[in-house]
Chains A and B, each alone.
Chain A
């Protein structure tokens, strides 16, 4: 089995933007098995008051260091923020991104908001990717320098124009497709963005992988609660985001 439950010592924890927490923990087992696009199922409190773990994407994994970045949003993540010693983590889980540097010479990576973080490890492992990162405003722009250090081309866009390109990251990707070669697209972000990326990729016949999120139960494929609609009929019309995903080919899913 490539995944299990571990008590992971917190090595560092910092707020890199308002309510955005960057955590590195120690876990040789998870870090060595982790693949880009996989996620962690994180316990945020005690069993009785918070029965569900929270799925959080892996941002990076190297040697015995495992890094994830989350947004403080509800009571689970509020409580997770308070854990300073050891975090109970199940992982690595889910189907990772498909990386094939021989087949795809011109990959484009597009992320929005907290959906940019799962793309970091992917970007490190791709040859020559062009990366588009979209945020609401300058205050939310994070990891730009780090993306820049692992690829040749990182472009940041903000919805309000306060930093970088004034508009949506997908407009930049659209321009790239019109003027240049893109042979695969990787995307993670808010649903409206994923819908637009899926439509753009399919209109141009470009293979596209998207990473989805959904409210989750077990995290390993048993409980069938984190479903997403696919084009399959019958029992597997709703596939499991935790097991069949979180990464899907855009043509598989209905958003």
Chain B
């Protein structure tokens, strides 16, 4: 049985990736199981300089999901390269560096710096809903996506994944713009912008007022968007949004993704990634599928 997948020339041992922001730099979940179990780790969103993030509360549960507004708390790209990356390179899983910035120049500088490091791929986050400047501001306009992707590609010597925001009218326009700009792969979806109010105090639960919705509640939106994007591009797709079980992963792959990322599910079950991988294997055995790549995009729509 083949579980290996190839994303823009980088071979992953299996299609399981950790979603940025839910898994830190792997240290905490690495106590539960070996990180060799994973296809890749996509690390906590990095910025050029350290960021302190938003004030708490930063998280709340909603029906079937969670809202978060961490605001990209991270040690900055240099500290990542010095202290976190060497730890991650001890494992067979690939390392994807997730980049966020306020300006195009920020992204270019990070892409240049990270390309000289041992990371395997770069993920450009132009869809974070929790920061004021940059982030989602770049990711909701096709012309801006085209421009920033083109610019960052000039500095990226590693495959560049563009992470798309679902907070748009037509996701295919954004996907096409990223492809035209030179993206090597796409990842979708980032969180959906949401809000929750405490009816007793009449105040928003999150200090940031709004936050990003993730978890099982968003999965149908993710599956639909991956399906639509698959129809308009041949770029590899990393699908994410509420994948909690092996069945969810299969569904997302049928819709068109080549690998899947697991985020919120890690909070429910620290072994989620391992269990999801096992669930994929069970499905392949049941349906006599020898190669996991044979599932991708095989949804039958008459």
Using a CB–CB cutoff of 8 Å, the interface residues on chain A facing chain B are 1, 3-5, 43, 47-53, 76, 90, 214-229, 233-235, 237-238, 243
Contact = CB atoms under 8 A, between A and B. Distances in A.
Contact of A218 (B52, B58, B205, B266): B266
B59 A222 contact: no
Contacts of A5: 269-271
Given A223-B21, A224-B58, A217 B53 contact: no
A52 B263 CA distance: 12
A76 B61 contact: yes
Contact of B22 (A1, A43, A214, A223): A223
Given A222-B266, A235-B50, A235-B51, A214 B56 contact: yes
8 nearest A-B residue pairs (beta carbon): A225-B59, A222-B24, A237-B52, A222-B28, A235-B50, A1-B31, A220-B28, A225-B58
Interface of B: 21-24, 27-29, 31-32, 44, 50-53, 55-61, 63-66, 68, 70, 73-76, 79, 205, 215-216, 244, 264-271
Given A222-B23, A234-B50, A227 B267 contact: no
Given A5-B270, A215-B57, A221-B27, 20 more contacts: A47-B244, A47-B268, A49-B63, A51-B65, A51-B215, A51-B216, A51-B264, A52-B61, A53-B267, A217-B68, A218-B270, A220-B28, A222-B27, A223-B23, A223-B59, A225-B56, A234-B50, A235-B73, A238-B52, A238-B55
Given A43-B268, A90-B270, A235 B21 contact: no
B218 to A, nearest CB: 11
Contact of A48 (B27, B51, B58, B244): B244
Contact of A4 (B27, B32, B267, B268): B32
Nearest to A52: B61
A194 B61 CA distance: 26
Q: Is the interface of A mostly helix, strand, loop or mixed?
A: loop
A146 B28 CA distance: 36
B28 A48 contact: no
Nearest to A234: B50
A51 B56 contact: no
Contacts of A43: 268
Contacts of B215: 51
Nearest to B22: A223
5 contacts: A51-B64, A76-B61, A220-B29, A224-B70, A234-B50
A47 B63 CA distance: 11
Contact of A238 (B27, B56, B68): B56
Given A215-B59, A222-B28, A227 B22 contact: no
Contacts of B29: 220, 222
A153 to B, nearest CB: 35
Contacts of B27: 221-222
Contacts of B75: 235
Contacts of A48: 64, 216, 244
Contact of A47 (B32, B50, B265): B265
A227 B68 CA distance: 12
B24 A221 contact: yes
Contacts of A238: 52-53, 55-56, 73
B248 to A, nearest CB: 10
B24 A223 contact: yes
Contacts of B76: 235
B267 A223 contact: yes
Contact of B57 (A53, A214, A243): A214
A1 B270 CA distance: 13
Contacts of B64: 48-49, 51
A5 B266 CA distance: 12
Given A53-B268, A221-B28, A238-B52, A216 B244 contact: no
Contacts of A3: 31
B59 A234 contact: no
Contacts of B52: 233-235, 237-238
A221 B26 CA distance: 10
A19 B94 CA distance: 48
B55 A52 contact: no
Contacts of A234: 50, 52
Which of B21, B205, B244, B270 has its CB near the most chain A CB atoms (within 10 A)? B270
Given A48-B216, A238-B53, A218 B267 contact: yes
A49 B244 CA distance: 12
B56 A215 contact: yes
Nearest to B264: A51
B56 A235 contact: no
B274 to A, nearest CB: 12
Contacts of A225: 56, 58-59, 68, 70
A54 to B, nearest CB: 9
A1 to B, nearest CB: 4
Contacts of A215: 56-60, 205
B55 A229 contact: yes
